[in-house]
Each structure stands twice: as C-alpha cells, then as structure tokens.
Chains A and B, each alone.
Chain A
Amino acid sequence: MIVAPPASYCPRHPARMLPTELPGAGEIVSFTTLHSPPEGFKSPLHIAIVELEGGARFVCHGAETRGLKIGSTVAIEAVNNVYYFSSLGALDRARIFWRRAGRAGDRVNSIAQSLMKRVWKGKDRAGL
C-alpha cells in the first residue's frame, strides 16, 4: 500500500513505511464541490481524490470541476504544501500513454517531470 502524505505505519498493518516517489499524474477517483466550506476556505471549494499510478490516493484542490469525470487523467502538483489537480491536454495524455507503453527507469522520471513542468507553465498563464 502506498499512502500520502508519508506515514510511519501502514494503516492496515503495523509495518514501517518506506519513502518512495511517483510521477505526478493519475486518475480522478471522485470529486465534489463544497458550497459552504469550513472557515478559511473560499466557496465554491473543489475537492477531488486522485489516484496516482501505483495506487497512492491524494486529496486535492482544483480550480474547477467543469468537464471533469471519474477516470479523467489529471496532473497534480503541490503549491505551498497543498496539492492541486489540473486537467491534461491531449498531448499530455499521449505522452503518458507512450510512457506506459514500455519505457522504464530514469527516462520515465524525466518525462514525468517535464510533464509536470509543462502543466505548471500552463497554469501560470491561466493566472492561477
């Protein structure tokens, strides 16, 4: 089981956890929009659970949920220790598919990293 954030013990077994790294892209497990969020959060608050390849699930914030579906591929990135999801364009999805098709090791990591950078450039332009 891979969990986020890092935990001392596996939630289901009294076993020590080891650190690991994952590419910052995955699938939407579910999402909701909260219209009366708790104090300190802006309404509407978009929350999603995103499952990264390898099975780790993150709770993330997002700028919007329009067009989002369960199973949609998204990128996630931390800003000030808070994870945000954002939708991926066709080119990004093609890259992930190509990566899945059989590359491994450092090459995969560098692609995943470049993917994240691309996505974050896109977000900057959107004024986020």
Chain B
Amino acid sequence: MRDVWISGAGMTAIGRRTEPLQSLMAEAALSALLMAERERPDAIVVAAMNPEEFVGDGNFASNVATHMGFAEVPTVRIETATSSGAAALYAGFAEVAAGLHRTVLVVGGEKMTHLATPRVSELIGRSIDPYERLYGATMPALAGLITRALMARNAVGLREIAQVAVKNHANAAKNPYAHYRQPITIEDVMTSRMVADPLRLLHCCPISDGGAAVVLTSDRIGVRIAGIGQGTDTLAVRHRQNLTSFRATQVAARVAFAMAGFGPERVDFAELHDAFTPFELIALEDIGLIPVGKASRATLDGETALDGRLPINPSGGLKARGHPLAATGLAQVVECVWQLLGRAEGRQLEGHTALAHSIGGLATNNWVTVLERL
C-alpha cells in the first residue's frame, strides 16, 4: 500500500449561502487544487448526502465534475449519511494507496438553508431506522434519549454539555469560515429553547450550506494520512445495548490507530463530530483521547479549549463552524491540515498529529482519520 498525502485543502465559508451546491463544491475544490498546485486531478470522489432531495439534482458525481470543467475526469459519488465526506476521503485514500491514481480530488458539500427547517429535519431524519421514525424519532429526539442516558450514568451534567457549546463558539469566533462567530455563555445555552429534553437549541448544531475539499497524492508532500478507519453499528438505536458510547466510533478509532501504528496519546488536537454537544464528550472517551468518565471534568477544566492540553474542535466544530452534512467530514480534515501546516491564522495550534472523527446517521457509520505532519 502506498503512503497517501494531502497536498491541498480548501473550503467555502460555511453558513447561509445563496450559490447553487455545484458552485459551492467547485469553490472548495478549486481552492484545494490551488494549494496543491494542480490544475487537474486524475480522479474525483464526490460526497453529497442527499442532493436529489435537497436541491433536486441526481447523477451528482457527473453533475459536479461537469460543472467544474472536469467532465472527462473519472468521478464517483460516496454516501454514508452525515459522514459522507469522511467516507469519500476513504475512497480517495484507497484509490491512491492502491496505485489506481496518483492525484485524487475529494470534494463534499450540501445545500439546505433554502428549505424550511421541518423539511430539512425530515430529510436528515430519513437516515434513522424506519420503525423508530414511525414514532416521530428525529435526530434531536434520539440524541435526547442518548443524552439522558449519559447524564444518568456518567455524572455528565447540564453544565458540562453547555460548556462544550461555549468552548466551540469561542473557537469559531476566531475562524473566518465559521457559520456562527459570536461567543455565547453557559446561561445562553441553558435558557435557550428546549428541543428534545434535556437538549436545548444551543446544544444542537445549525443547518448550514457549504463545501470542503482535499487533494490526495502519492507524492511525499503536505500532511500524511497515517490511519483511517470505519466503524459501524445497527441502524436502530434500540438494538444497541449501550446508549452512552458508540461502537462505531470505538471500532473506527481502533482501526485507524492500528493502521497508524500508534495510539491516541500522540494526538495533539482533534476535530470531533459535535452535532449535539454531548457527542463530543462521548467521542473523547470512545476514541481514547480522555480516560472513560473523565471527559466532562476535562472540558470544565479547560483541557479541551484552544489554549488547553488537548484542543478539541479548533474550527468551532459542527456546533459553530456549521454542519453542511457531506462537507463536514472533509471540513474537519481541512481544518486539521491547515493547523498542521501553519495556515490557521488567528487560532493556530502547535502540533504534529491531528485526528478527525465523523458520525454517519445516529452513529451507524463512523470514521476516524489520523493525520501527521512529518
């Protein structure tokens, strides 16, 4: 297997965008190609969770490739619900590692804010088990069930899950690409509208538009993908014995670290899938970045803040950078690459090793990617 390097990384500003999805993805892709100093990739992998419903376009690999002027470049589309961006990275990684292509462009994006919120919730909710959906289960509802179980079991409190939001908004305030750039207080979170008891509005990520892209190459340049792993679990949340940790994350981390040949102790900072703030605490422990039972204490103590021992979500995370579904898994990697190469102006961290973690559906198809600057 060949080593795979990320030679270019780019993304759009995340938020409420008026451009069509194809244009957002082209903007991200061209900025990644510019950084990689490549005019044209040998192949393209496209990530889009549901462009058929969100924007009404199908055959989306060819659609995006043609829009960018790459109609003659071989292109495929990859989908694993909300982790599609990370899954596309894996497909691109495999193409380069196998020697099928030397340079692969991986680009993801989603456009949702032009639709009414209930419609967006319903479309995202289609990734939930159909039987649970019959009972009105939405992503926030399932996250609410998980949060209550977490609070009953691990001494995670309302203050801890609010602090994750406060921290990630503070980080996003320093990120010009973030959806929400205003800092918030614990009070703001704890008095925001109740969504799915005990989760309130400010525990949840926003609905965002945007695109993100990376250029992968077998040439030794930029940041190396040291390890990449997938973990899966049942579609139905009720079929899982344990609600307070995610098997899919644990397996993905194990596989990624096995490929990297080192463990979580070497990670300097990470981008974690905080679609709902308790998920950041769960991921910290599932990946092994923080010992089991210690994630909330570490968060309250500031260990995961930008100036802490282990900065988490320097971009602002899904919570505040925003969550344009299939762009997210790649936006996390873009942030890690920029940080590792000293391009994260205003929020620059020290470090050689970064980790990105993406959740698909309600933790049915998760990914962990370990990145290393040599």
A residues less than 8 Å from B98 (CB atoms)? none
B196: CB under 8 A from chain A?
Answer: yes
The answer to whether B195 and A35 touch across the interface, beta carbons within 8 angstroms, is: yes
Of B125, B236, B238, most buried by chain A (CB within 10 Å of CB) is B238
The answer to whether B136 and A41 touch across the interface, beta carbons within 8 angstroms, is: yes
A63: CB under 8 A from chain B?
Answer: no
Pick from A14-22, A52-60, A89-97, A110-118 the stretch touching chain B: A52-60
The answer to whether A34 and B141 touch across the interface, beta carbons within 8 angstroms, is: yes
Partner of B141, one of A11, A32, A40, A82: A32
Partner of A58, one of B137, B146, B199, B238: B238
Residue of B nearest to A51 (CB): B238
A47–B195 Cα gap in the complex (Å)? 13
Interface string of B228-239 (1 = CB under 8 A from A): 000000111111
The answer to whether B238 and A59 touch across the interface, beta carbons within 8 angstroms, is: yes
Partner of A34, one of B132, B136, B238: B136
Interface set of B (CB-CB < 8 Å, partner A):
118, 121-122, 125, 131-132, 134-138, 140-141, 144-149, 152, 193-199, 234-239, 243
A61–B137 Cα gap in the complex (Å)? 10
Q: How far is the CB of B236 from chain A (nearest CB, A)?
A: 7
A residues less than 8 Å from B140 (CB atoms)? 34
A33: CB under 8 A from chain B?
Answer: yes
Q: How far is the CB of B146 from chain A (nearest CB, A)?
A: 7
B residues less than 8 Å from A32 (CB atoms)? 141, 144-145, 147-148, 196-199
The answer to whether A37 and B146 touch across the interface, beta carbons within 8 angstroms, is: no
Chain B interface helix/strand/loop/mixed: helix
A3: CB under 8 A from chain B?
Answer: yes
The answer to whether B148 and A70 touch across the interface, beta carbons within 8 angstroms, is: yes
The answer to whether A5 and B131 touch across the interface, beta carbons within 8 angstroms, is: yes
Beyond A12-B234, A32-B198, A35-B195, 13 extra complex contacts between A and B, CB < 8 Å: A3-B239, A11-B239, A31-B148, A32-B148, A33-B144, A34-B140, A36-B195, A38-B118, A38-B138, A39-B122, A45-B141, A49-B243, A82-B135
A29: CB under 8 A from chain B?
Answer: yes
A30: CB under 8 A from chain B?
Answer: yes
The answer to whether B135 and A59 touch across the interface, beta carbons within 8 angstroms, is: yes
Residue of B nearest to A70 (CB): B152
A35–B193 Cα gap in the complex (Å)? 9
Closest 6 CB pairs of A and B: A32-B144, A57-B238, A33-B197, A30-B149, A41-B136, A30-B145
The answer to whether B194 and A47 touch across the interface, beta carbons within 8 angstroms, is: no
